[in-house]
Amino acid sequence: MTSRTDSGSRRAQVVGIGLIGGSIGMALRAGGWHVTGVDRDAVRVEKGVALGALDASGFDEDAAIMFVATPVGAVAEVVAQCLGRGSGVVTDVGSAKHAIVSAVPDGRFVGGHPMAGSEQEGVEGARPELFEGSVWVLTPVEGTDPGAHALVRSVVASLGAEVMELSPQRHDALVAMVSHVPHLTAASLMGLAAEGAEEHRALLRLAAGGFRDMTRIAAGHPGIWPDICVENRDAIVDVLRRLEEELAHTRSLVERGDRAGVLDILERARAARVNLPARVARTSEMAEVRIPVPDRPGVLAEVTTLASELGVDIADLEIAHSAEGDAGVLILVIEGESIDRLRDALAARGYHASMRSLA
């Protein structure tokens, strides 16, 4: 099971061969690393080798860097095992950090969390470019060995990710806010709406774009959430409590008919949302293009083909529905320098697009 070489400098170990572990293996191999992989389930390792995510099956004690990509509930234990068996640096990809980092106070361990994922699960969905342009959080602490930190940082950056350093607690609070609590809230809203079968039928007919947008993440795989809720319990509980307070405050404004108060909440939220970039990490200046979309076939094809023909790279695309009804605006995010080209071409075809810079 063990492979040995004289030098571990370009040898890596991955533990847990799923979507993330498999993608790390592929990206490392593309960068010239020799990657050994292990998983509780031997079939996943076989698949990983077959799909080109791994060079070999087993545990490479001489690996310079070991990635722990198991379910978050198992991370601390597996990190400790890796530190015991190998001599290299260990990092992980768990979506909660404080509990893990506190459980393994070893200078050779650097906590990590790539903010990348996919709707797909398993090594079958792995791809080497998964981390390109995404944010990868590292959570070094006081006792972290600077050399270990520097190595993890440079390897992660070499996978195409943008490294962001945060304390474990700060990471957990932020992720609870932007990922965990929104997910639980979407599920709560959906659950509330689904109460009672008869009610559900009517709701289905009325639920339009806004509601669908709000609850979309509730369609994701539930399996990972019990672990996340245990590992990031404190931060999730804190943010949930604050959201409940915020909703209770909003309710009291509605209850006493405080128009100005309601307007203030919505205006502040709008300003914050409008400033939320449509895509996370991008070095060049991006621009947002909004095109009202008439409800006829072919418009999407026409606009996206036009962009393609003009060499305009669409970094992101969404259809913003109104709160009620299905009418929409097609929102494209493109490189700022492409604005003029696309505007002229759209105008020539009769589209009334509005543009703004996201700089």
Q: Which residues pair with 109 in a beta bridge?
A: 90
Total H helices, total E strands in the chain: 14, 12
Checking DSSP bridges between strand 135-139 and strand 162-165, what pairing results, if any?
A: parallel
Per CB under 8 A, 345 contacts a copy of itself: no
DSSP category for residue 175: H
| Residue numbers 212-241 binding a copy of itself by CB under 8 A | 212-223, 225-227, 229-230, 233, 236-237, 239-241
Nearest-approach distance from CB 58 to a copy of itself, in angstroms: 29
Q: Is 53 in the site for a copy of itself (CB under 8 A)?
A: no
Query: Does residue number 320 form part of the binding site for a copy of itself (CB under 8 A)?
Result: yes
Q: Count Cβ atoms below 10 Å from residue 5 Cβ, excluding itself.
A: 12
Q: Produce one character per residue of 250-270: b if its CB has 16 or more CB atoms within 10 Å, e if not.
A: eeebeeeeeeeeeeeeeeeee
Query: 315: which residues sit within 8 A by CB, 6+ positions away?
Result: 278, 279, 282, 286, 333, 334, 335
Does residue 185 sit in helix, strand or coil? Answer: helix
What angle is formed at CA 162 by the lines to CA 309 and CA 315, rounded to 5 degrees?
A: 20
- Residue 358 touches a copy of itself, criterion: CB under 8 A: no
Which of 65, 66, 79, 186 touches a copy of itself (CB under 8 A)? Answer: 186
Residues 59-118 that bind a copy of itself (CB under 8 A): 95, 114-118
Burial of 123 per CB tally in 10 Å (0-12, 13-18, 19+): buried
DSSP code per residue over 101-164: HHH---TTEEEEEE----S--SGGG--TTTTTT-EEEEE--TTS-HHHHHHHHHHHHHTTPEEE
- Binding of a copy of itself by 58 (CB under 8 A): no
**Of the candidate residues 163, 265, 345, 355, the single one contacting a copy of itself (CB under 8 A):** 265
285 sits near a copy of itself (criterion: CB under 8 A): no
Q: Which of 41, 285, 318, 344 binds a copy of itself (CB under 8 A)?
A: 318
Q: Please state the closest distance from residue 358 (CB atom) to a copy of itself, in A.
A: 11
Identity of the residue, 178 or 347, whose beta carbon is nearer to a copy of itself in the bound complex:
178
Q: Which of 255, 284, 348, 349 binds a copy of itself (CB under 8 A)?
A: 255
Choose the stretch contacting a copy of itself; rule: CB under 8 A; options: 10-18, 27-35, 101-109, 279-287: 279-287
Binds a copy of itself (CB under 8 A): choice among 205, 283, 284, 348:
205
Nearer to a copy of itself, 203 or 355 (CB): 203
Minimum CB separation of residue 220 from a copy of itself in Å reads: 6
Q: Phi first, then psi: what are they for 129, rounded to 5°?
A: -95, 10
- Tell me how many residues contact a copy of itself (CB under 8 A): 133
The minimum distance between CB 86 and a copy of itself, in angstroms, equals: 28
- Please select the residue that binds a copy of itself; options are 1, 4, 146, 275, rule is CB under 8 A: 275
Residue 254 binding a copy of itself, by CB under 8 A: yes
> By CB under 8 A, is residue 324 in contact with a copy of itself?
yes
Residue 178 touches a copy of itself, criterion: CB under 8 A: yes
Kindly write down the DSSP assignment for every residue of 50-88, as one continuous string. HTTS-SEES--TT-SEEEE-S-GGGHHHHHHHHHHH-SS
Q: Is 196 in the site for a copy of itself (CB under 8 A)?
A: no
Q: Are 106 and 81 in contact (CB under 8 A)?
A: no
Q: Examine residue 357 and tell whether it contacts a copy of itself (CB under 8 A).
A: no
Q: How many CB atoms lie within 10 A of CB 98?
A: 22
- Nearest distance in Å: CB 26, a copy of itself: 13
Part of the chain binding a copy of itself (CB under 8 A), chosen from 4-12, 54-62, 64-72, 295-303: 295-303
Residue 58 Ramachandran class (φ > 0 left, ψ -120 to 50 alpha, else beta) = left
Contact positions with a copy of itself (CB under 8 A) in 148-177: 164, 166, 170, 174-175, 177
| Token pair recorded at residue 209 | 């774009």
